[in-house]
Amino acid sequence: MEKTVSEAIAYRRSVRVYKDIPIETEKVKQCIKNAVLAPNSSNLQLWEFYHVTNKETLKRLAVACFEQNAAKTAQQLVIIVARKDLWRNRVKANLNYINETYNQPNLSEKDKNRKNMATNYYKKIIPIAYVEFLGILGILKYVVFHIIGLFRPIYREVRNSDMRIVAHKSAGLAAQNFMLSMAAIGYDTCPLEGSDTLRIKKILKLPRGAEITMVIGCGIRDDKGIYGSRFRVPFDEVYTLINTTK
């Protein structure tokens, strides 16, 4: 029986040693399908998922992850990749979806407004944020938007570095969906920060614009796979309730 959300969150740990027991590829694939349902910026879905089961490739990736046990003993690896460079393709996909959704005769005024608003968003707003040229446009947009921001609220994260962060944040949300889905079915994971991302890109034959967000080891936890009890700083140090007007 699958765990509840709360049970899966409590069960999930960063497991660094896995048993030498195979896990089912299709089950892991289903967890990746859950990952793509994660919320993401502007529904651009600037991510890709590389599901590695080949033993030789796993060995090469483990070396690129500095032979960490979480990679070396993993039965499978899932590499989550941010693809900010694909924003034009994803804009086109969203526009096609909008046109298909509203491709009906006698649309109501409400639906016409929704279609126009969504179409304008992807054709006009998204390019303003993502179009870049040698970093120059990003700096110019940053200055202009901050001047406008002196007079009214405005979106300020418009530099190339900002949009990279946006893509990685979305990919990180997908990663959490994946790991909790794995925990729900009793499979374990470990997100690896330490890796040679350039070597990983070469192993996976990724294009220049692809960026590694996370390498996730997958398997079934060994008895010595969890390094100690879970520690979190006191909740009151990270929680602030705003319930008064100043």
Are 76 and 169 part of one and the same domain?
A: yes
Residue finishing a domain among 106, 125, 154: 154
CATH (domain of 32): 3.40.109.10
Q: Do 135 and 221 sit in the same domain of this protein?
A: no
Average pLDDT over residues 35-42: 98
Same domain for 45 and 70: yes
Tens of pLDDT, residues 39-60: 999 999 999 999 999 999 999 9
On whether both 233 and 130 belong to a single domain, the answer is no
> Is residue 243 assigned to a domain?
no
On whether both 107 and 82 belong to a single domain, the answer is: no
Task: Specify whether 41 is located in the same domain as 138.
Answer: no
Q: How confident is the model at residue 32 (pLDDT cuts 50, 70, 90)?
A: very high
Residues 53 and 142 in one domain: no
Sorting pLDDT into bands at 50, 70 and 90, what band is 81?
very high
With a cut of 70, say whether residue 22 has pLDDT above it: yes
Q: Both 70 and 99 in a single domain?
A: no
Confirm whether 14 is domain-assigned. yes
- Boundary-marking domain end, from 131, 154, 177: 154
Band the pLDDT of 246: cuts 50, 70, 90: low
Is residue 245 domain-resident? Answer: no
Q: Which residues contact 57 (CB under 8 A, 6 or more apart)?
A: 203
Cα 212 to Cα 206: distance, rounded to the nearest angstrom: 10
- Provide the domain limits for residue 97: 90-154
* Mean pLDDT computed over 19-28: 98
Q: Quote the CA–CA distance of 163 and 130 in Å, as a whole number.
A: 7
pLDDT at 244 over 90: no
Q: Which residue type is seen at 231?
A: F
Claim to verify: residue 123 and residue 167 sit in the same structural domain: no
Q: Flag whether 213 is in a domain.
A: yes
Same domain, yes or no, for 20 and 125? no
In DSSP notation, 117-149 reads HHHHIIIIIHHHHH--STTHHHHHHHHHHHHHT
Q: Which among 156, 148, 90 has a CA at the least distance from the CA of 129?
A: 156
pLDDT digits (tens, 9 = 90+) for 195-240: 999 999 999 999 999 999 999 999 999 999 999 999 999 999 999 9
Same domain, 105 and 68: no
Residue 79 inside a domain? The answer is: yes
Whether the per-residue pLDDT at 150 is higher than 70: the answer is yes
- Domain total in the chain: 2
| Mean per-residue pLDDT over the chain, rounded | 95
- What tokens were used for 227? 């390094």
- Identify whether residues 170 and 149 lie together within a single domain: no
